[in-house]
Structure 1
Amino acid sequence: MRSEGRGAAVRVNGVEDAIAAAYRGEWARVVAGLTRRFGSLDVAEDAAAEAFAAAVARWPSDGVPPNPGAWLMTTASRKGIDRIRRENQRDGKHREAQAMFDPTPSESVGAIDDDRLRLIFTCCHPALAMESRVALTLRMVGGLTTAEIARAFLTSENTVGQRITRAKAKIKASGIPYRMPSAADLPDRVSGVLTVLFLVFNEGYLATGAGTDPVRAELTAEAIRLARLIHGLIPDDGEVTGLLALMLLSDARRPARISDDGELIPLDEQNRELWDRTLIAEGHVLVRERLAAAADGEVPGRYQILAAIGAVHTTARETGDTDWSQILALYDQLARIDSSPIVALNRAIAVAELDGPEVALAIVDRLEGALSGYHSFHATRADLLRRLGRGQNARAAYDRAIELAGNTAEAATLARRRDRLA
């Protein structure tokens, strides 16, 4: 009896694992296929959810089907048809489908005519507010529940639900088609998609909400998963490759970023033996791929340059081995395409390592008007003042940085550095 019980538990756990793997791998594919078929995000989402619920109910007794994805798509399609019949709104659904689906062939953009990519571009359409794009993408493409999205961004389920509902309504009312952008529009539209993913990753990498974990691994993992999906669909897009590499190289450092006391450990203090070398190796391969493309005349974009900077940092086995001259050259390159004050601030950190804190402080002080409300400005300035022996000024800068910091672990680190001032 005990043996049978253990066997049953193994079978159940195996089915649970299969369902979880199918959910991760097939949710976006099923929702995208249903959206194309029915022309309605609501029908697609509900039918997909019902299909996965059916899998939870039936697979433990019937067994995992040989092709889980095909089973889910077939079941979801039937659920969608049943819903339309039940609601007896076929005419209305057809009108909704016309609003979502544009039968006019779009300009060919190569081998990226994929339903999932259509879905991503629909969810990240520039007509939608950014918070709506994020919520809709995480729900429709990522498969996160409303509750999970709410927890991730420290807001209520009701707020997230309203954002998703408003986004769907906007898509329907504005006639936003479920189609690929034209080749002429593709670069700008891809940029918008990457902005959404980078926002999700950054919220996980350095969470800003009070009372939450300082690092949200579930968000960084989801952003990386979606970036992998897009990279698989658009492997030749340099910025897609660059963003994926940047995420991998940044997330590789996560095991060393939080101390046992809950402080955020700065890069120069991290135990590099804890870094994930598998992720670093994967990120370096992607960076080298883009470097080869640049050697052939392609101009690298923002994410590719940031990924290259990450590659330089993760190449150094010790902090003292960091090639700051190469990092400064990369920031100079980045500044030519992105002259924002934040890029200038980060560049100043490299300047400090090469030319000294006094030269860097002069650069940083010129940014005060643009970055006075940005905690990293004051934290950088405090560190430079500390290195120059100007303790009183450094303390004031640390106080302001702590006041503005939204991350509890980062605030704790700043407080420790402030309290160690002579």
Structure 2
Amino acid sequence: MTDDPTPALDEGALRALVPRVLAGLVRRGEDFDTAEDALQEALLEALRVWPEHPPRDPRAWLTTVATRRLVDVRRSESARHRREDATYAEPRAAATEAGDDTLFLLFCCCHRDLTPASQVALTLRAVGGLTTREIADAFYVPEATMAQRISRAKRALQGRALDQPGDLAVVLRVLYLVYTTGHAGRVDLAVEAIRLARQLTLATEEPEARGLLALMLLNHARLPARLDGEGRIVTLDRQDRSRWDTREIAEGVRVLQSALAVQRFGRYQVEAAISALHDDAASAAETDWPQILAWYDDLVALTDDPVQQDPAAVLGRAVAVGHVLGPAAGLRETDRVREVIGDRHRWHAVRGYLHELDGDLPAAATAYAEAARLATNVAERDHLVRQAARARTSTGSP
């Protein structure tokens, strides 16, 4: 009879422990950068030891090994004599700490003193457990550049009290930025953002957290139909809806309903409600545009200052107006908000769509071409070029 093979190390489970252990160290007063370095060494040791000698309490094991490394650092620096025998020699497990530390660590990474780019990078590094190379690949920057960005973020946190490092609104914004970054490199940032949003909803009862998770799920469900066989963008009205993930839609709707039941609406809940109406339509022709327009009215009303309006919200409302009140009304709406939007490619793209809806294909082709000229994303630019060419072909223009 042969011995059982050595069980494979579950790297996913190991990655899930990282934010909890790191948060425990930081909450205890350790410097963020030093604590992460110690934890990284503990993780390397875990990869070496665990396959043959798995611990009974992985979280306690990582905390103990990281803590010993922190003690070694203090000794090597000849720091002042401290409470190491009483505080650090004992294997105090993070498991004894109450609650899930994911929210705490997210707050640390989303500290107000950090730039949005640094908040996103540090969140992916510390909470998501991604390597610097994976984050660099996702953002199309050299690994050295991303390493510098993360190092600057950690230095910015040195000496700051992290007992109340940020607020939930900033955390939600950062997670949405992670999600909307898209899909690139070896890590799907949209999937990573959804995973982190799930953890966040377990740590807070705030309905906007559930609203954000619902929005991500309802949008992500359409991912399989967003590109054709050649990798080209397919607009929502032309997508094969049989390819949408119905289970993800159902989950998104359930999460959204639980958030809306609190009767404290916010941006993410309203955007999720709009997305749910699109997902609920069996075809583009069956879209409930009057209800969508009503939700867009609520979304725009959340911000009193026109200058602070989200361009996507006001342009989405213009499209809804075009479907409910007619393309001419939608075009007038784009004229009304142009000062708020500025000369953006999406403003011209919406104009092209509304002109096409109105049957004015020459004007549509012109607007699409201008949108393509201004677009910075290659996939979007190529899509808009094709839209302009299609409109010209339909009119018989060269």
Range of TM-score over shorter length: 0.7 to 0.9
Aligned to 1:259, the other structure's residue is in SS state: coil
Q: Which of 290, 313, 328 is residue 293 of structure 2 equivalent to?
A: 328
Alpha-carbon shift at residue 15 of structure 1 (Å): 1.6
Pairing of 1:42-57 with structure 2 (within 5 A): 42-57=33-48
Alpha-carbon shift at residue 275 of structure 1 (Å): 1.2
User: For residues 129 and 317 of structure 1, what CA distance do their matches in structure 2 show?
Assistant: 42
Q: Which of 42, 51, 59 is residue 69 of structure 1 equivalent to?
A: 59
Name the aligned partner's letter for residue 357 of structure 2.
Answer: R
Q: Is 1:158 aligned to residue 144 of structure 2?
A: yes
Q: Which of 370, 376, 397 is residue 406 of structure 1 equivalent to?
A: 376
Name the aligned partner's letter for residue 354 of structure 1.
Answer: V
Name the aligned partner's letter for residue 321 of structure 2.
Answer: V
In the alignment, structure 2 segments of 5+ residues that lack a partner are 85-97
Q: Is 1:275 aligned to residue 244 of structure 2?
A: yes
| Matched residue, 2:284 | 319
Name the aligned partner's letter for residue 8 of structure 2.
Answer: V
Paired-residue identity, %: 43
Distance change >3 Å, CA 217–CA 247, structure 1 → 2 = farther
| Matched residue, 2:257 | 288
Superposed CA RMSD in Å reads 2.6
| Matched residue, 2:265 | 300
| Matched residue, 2:74 | 84
Name the aligned partner's letter for residue 21 of structure 1.
Answer: G
Name the aligned partner's letter for residue 197 of structure 2.
Answer: A
Give the conservation status (yes or no) of the 8 Å contact 2:207–2:260: no
User: For residues 137 and 92 of structure 1, what CA distance do their matches in structure 2 show?
Assistant: 31
User: For residues 217 and 323 of structure 1, what CA distance do their matches in structure 2 show?
Assistant: 35
| Matched residue, 2:179 | 201
TM (normalized to structure 2)?
A: 0.87
Give the conservation status (yes or no) of the 8 Å contact 1:241–1:286: yes
Alpha-carbon shift at residue 131 of structure 1 (Å): 1.3
User: For residues 302 and 81 of structure 2, what CA distance do their matches in structure 1 show?
Assistant: 50
Q: Which of 124, 132, 147 is residue 118 of structure 2 equivalent to?
A: 132
| Matched residue, 1:37 | 28
User: For residues 264 and 407 of structure 1, what CA distance do their matches in structure 2 show?
Assistant: 12
Q: Is 1:224 aligned to residue 190 of structure 2?
A: no
Alpha-carbon shift at residue 220 of structure 1 (Å): 0.5
Q: Is 1:177 aligned to residue 166 of structure 2?
A: no
Per-residue CA deviations over 1:306-355 (Å, capped at 9, x if unaligned) read 11111111122222222111111101111111351432211011111112
TM (normalized to structure 1)?
A: 0.82
User: For residues 382 and 268 of structure 1, what CA distance do their matches in structure 2 show?
Assistant: 14
| Matched residue, 2:365 | 395
Give the conservation status (yes or no) of the 8 Å contact 2:223–2:244: yes
Alpha-carbon shift at residue 80 of structure 1 (Å): 2.5
Alpha-carbon shift at residue 91 of structure 1 (Å): 7.2
Give the conservation status (yes or no) of the 8 Å contact 2:33–2:155: no
Q: Which of 175, 190, 201 is residue 168 of structure 2 equivalent to?
A: 190
Per-residue CA deviations over 1:187-233 (Å, capped at 9, x if unaligned) read xx11111111111111116xxxxxx68xx961101111111111110
Aligned to 1:177, the other structure's residue is in SS state: coil
Alpha-carbon shift at residue 367 of structure 1 (Å): 2.5
User: For residues 136 and 355 of structure 1, what CA distance do their matches in structure 2 show?
Assistant: 45
| Matched residue, 1:21 | 12
Relative contact order, CA 8 A, sep 6+: which one is greater? 1
Q: Which of 98, 108, 120 is residue 106 of structure 2 equivalent to?
A: 120
Name the aligned partner's letter for residue 71 of structure 2.
Answer: I
Determine which structure has the larger helix proportion and give its number: 1
| Matched residue, 1:209 | none
| Matched residue, 1:418 | 388
Distance change >3 Å, CA 54–CA 170, structure 1 → 2 = same
Distance change >3 Å, CA 91–CA 379, structure 1 → 2 = farther
Q: Is 1:238 aligned to residue 203 of structure 2?
A: no
Give the conservation status (yes or no) of the 8 Å contact 1:38–1:44: no
Give the conservation status (yes or no) of the 8 Å contact 1:117–1:180: no
